Structure formats: C-alpha cells, structure tokens
C-alpha cells in the first residue's frame, strides 16, 4: 500500500490546532513548555476566543511563547507580567488575558506583582510553569529548587542554612481572597496533560465569569537543566517534585 492511500481525511486522527503557528519550537526535546503551549492553543481554539485573547509572555525560556501561539502578545520585563495583565484586563474588560510565567519569574523577581494581582482578584488567568530551575540562563537555583538539588548556583546541592527552603508560592496564592481557582497539574503523561487542559479551560471560563484570579501551576521538567534524559527527567519529577508539590486543586470556588 502506498503512503498516499493512507493520507486521507477519513483516516485523520489528530491535527495541530490552527491557533498554533508553524514555527519550529526552540524548546529542548522533553521540555514541558511545548505541551502546555499546545494545550493553551487548543483551549483558545475550542472556546473560539482567538480574537479576544491577549497573552503576556515572561522572561525565561518561554519569552518566545508568542512565536508559537497565534494571538496578540505583550512581552513583559522579568516578573512583571501580572502588572501588564492587570492594566490590559481593566482597560479591555471583555477580553481574555493570561500570563505565562516560570518559577524564577513568578516566585522570585515577580513575587510582589503576582501576590498583589491575585489579591486584587484581577479577572486574569495565570499559567505558572514550575520546573525548579532557571532554564534560559543556564540552570541556576530557583525559589522552588528542591532541598539538596544541584544547580549551577547550588553546585553541591540546595542547603537550608544558606538558601532557605523551597518557596511554596501556590499554597500562598491559594490563601489570597482574590483567587477563585488554584490548581497544580502536570503534563508528563497523556492523562495528566488532559487534566491540565481541563484546568486551563476552567481558568479561562472563570475569567469570563469575573470570579477573580485563576492560577494553574504546571509542575514541569527541565531535562537540560536537570541534566537527565527526557524519560529520566519525567521519572525524577514524579519521584521528587510531586511529593514536594502535590498535584490537585488547592482551591475551587
């Protein structure tokens, strides 16, 4: 049988979301960013909100999120995405506005911005990628780096007496009265990716209902930064990250 006989519309089982651009992603093989981008694009497509969605990209590996998801984007300074999103949503109350931020961006340099945006209950969506490391700058320690974990700036492992313990930022966010939905998900398997997609959709729907801030953490892998193969990185994440960052809803009202 010739391959041309197989490539037919009736045999098609999967197609790329039209909200995803054709650019080849710069992410390392095995990185979680690509999967999360795809899920966001699918949610935007399925909700039919491409013309009404504005994304705020961070500083870090996902600074280039705008090269992959075909919507209007603003690229923020490191940590400041929630401030941009606040003004954008208040000036365009009928649009869908989301930030996409890593752990260095959201839980370190941008702690003030995320706390206050969530506390004000801005009707925005926050997608928080937690891979416990600074990826783009070459694998330095993040606020969410686990105890004992080796990074470029903790070469002998994170120590409590020097660096303090990992910051459980999502637990803090869940305490803020402005948030309506705070959840922690992952994308290392088909099942977990599907759950994350449902969480992202719910977050966007909350935004339209003006219920407050929706916060979706995705516990992610950075196999390059962790110096593991993609498969080993996922295994390491399940064994080490999940006990520290347990999956599930922290708040849903």
What does the binding site for other proteins look like in residue numbers (CB under 8 A)? 50-54, 56-57, 63, 66, 70-77, 80, 83-88, 90-92, 95, 112-113, 115-116
Tokens of 57: 């990209």
Residue placing its CB nearer to other proteins in the complex, 103 or 113: 113
Residue placing its CB nearer to other proteins in the complex, 21 or 238: 21
Residue placing its CB nearer to other proteins in the complex, 92 or 148: 92
Spatial distance between the Cα atoms of 224 and 10, rounded to a whole number of angstroms: 39
DSSP 69: B
CA 224 vs. chain centroid, Å, equals 18
Residue placing its CB nearer to other proteins in the complex, 82 or 166: 82
**In degrees to the nearest 10, what's the CA dihedral of 38, 201, 234, 244?**
150
Minimal distance, residue 30 CB to other proteins, in Å? 23
Spatial distance between the Cα atoms of 200 and 203, rounded to a whole number of angstroms: 5
Minimal distance, residue 119 CB to other proteins, in Å? 9
H or E stretch covering 29: none
H or E stretch covering 35: helix 33-47
Residue tagged 């909350």 (tokens): 206
CB contact at 8 A, 158 and 141: yes
Minimal distance, residue 117 CB to other proteins, in Å? 9
CB contact at 8 A, 180 and 117: no
Tokens of 206: 């909350």
Residue placing its CB nearer to other proteins in the complex, 90 or 165: 90
Minimal distance, residue 159 CB to other proteins, in Å? 30
Residue placing its CB nearer to other proteins in the complex, 50 or 192: 50
Minimal distance, residue 43 CB to other proteins, in Å? 16
Minimal distance, residue 90 CB to other proteins, in Å? 5
The Cβ of residue 82 has, within 10 Å, a number of other Cβ atoms equal to 26
DSSP string, 142-153: -TTPPTT--BTT
Minimal distance, residue 110 CB to other proteins, in Å? 10
């Amino acid at each position: 049988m010739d391959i041309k006989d197989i490539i037919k519309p009736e045999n098609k089982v999967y197609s790329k979301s039209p909200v995803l651009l054709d650019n080849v992603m710069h992410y390392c093989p095995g990185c979680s960013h690509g999967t999360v981008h795809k899920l966001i694009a699918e949610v935007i497509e399925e909700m039919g909100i491409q013309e009404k969605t504005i994304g705020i990209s961070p500083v870090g590996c996902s600074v280039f999120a705008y090269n992959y998801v075909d919507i209007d984007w603003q690229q923020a300074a490191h940590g400041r995405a929630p401030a941009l999103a606040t003004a954008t949503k208040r000036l365009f109350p009928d649009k869908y506005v989301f930030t996409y931020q890593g752990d260095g961006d959201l839980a370190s340099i941008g702690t003030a911005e995320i706390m206050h945006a969530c506390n004000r209950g801005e009707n925005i969506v926050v997608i928080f990628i937690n891979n416990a490391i600074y990826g783009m700058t070459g694998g330095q320690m993040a606020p969410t780096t686990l105890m004992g974990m080796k990074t470029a700036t903790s070469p002998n492992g994170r120590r409590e007496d020097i660096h303090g313990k990992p910051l459980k930022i999502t637990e803090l966010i869940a305490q803020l009265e402005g948030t309506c939905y705070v959840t922690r998900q992952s994308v290392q398997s088909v099942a977990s990716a599907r759950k994350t997609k449902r969480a992202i959709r719910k977050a966007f729907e909350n935004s339209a209902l003006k219920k407050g801030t929706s916060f979706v953490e995705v516990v992610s892998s950075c196999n390059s930064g962790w110096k593991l193969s993609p498969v080993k990185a996922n295994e390491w994440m399940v064994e080490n990250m999940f006990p520290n960052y347990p999956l599930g809803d922290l708040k849903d009202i």
